[in-house]
Amino acid sequence: GGLGGQGKRMEPPGTPRSISWSEERRREAPESTAVYGFVFWVLVSLGYVGYLVWSCISEETLERVGITYYPSKYWALAVPAWGFTVFLASSVLYVFANLMVTAPLDARCTVMDSHSRRPRACTGAQIPEIGDLDLTEVNRCMLGVSTANGENGT
């Protein structure tokens, strides 16, 4: 009996349904992600405060408190300076890498490609379709240059 002939018992509405462990884990995932994010934020904040304390307090004060094993103060300025230098260098290298793979301005692929759409001629007072204008047509209208052989359209 029952629907589908599989012998499953129909539960009345409102009865709590038992769920599998994996489904329960999936339901808890957003909350656990938020907890991991918060824990990471707290650890980074504590690390930053520790960095500021280590870099700003004198070595004598640290030794008086009982902290005797710490890196040289040189690294308090060296690590941020190197990080900033790497950031600037990578930004410049990223721009140069993109310029190297970009086609030259006079290449045909910068004007037309396989996805270009030529607008159809419209009749009367119709609004023309959206399409890509031919560069020679744009040059003729805007600059008065009509053809590639040097004839002037004015």
- What are the average pLDDT values for consecutive 10-residue runs of the chain, which has 154 residues? 53 65 69 87 96 92 90 92 98 96 81 77 74 79 70 49
Q: What's the confidence (pLDDT) of residue 52?
A: 93
- Cα–Cα dist 49/40, whole Å: 14
Q: Nearest-CA neighbor of 154 among 144, 142, 141?
A: 144
What confidence score (pLDDT) does residue 137 get?
78
Q: What is the pLDDT of residue 140?
A: 83
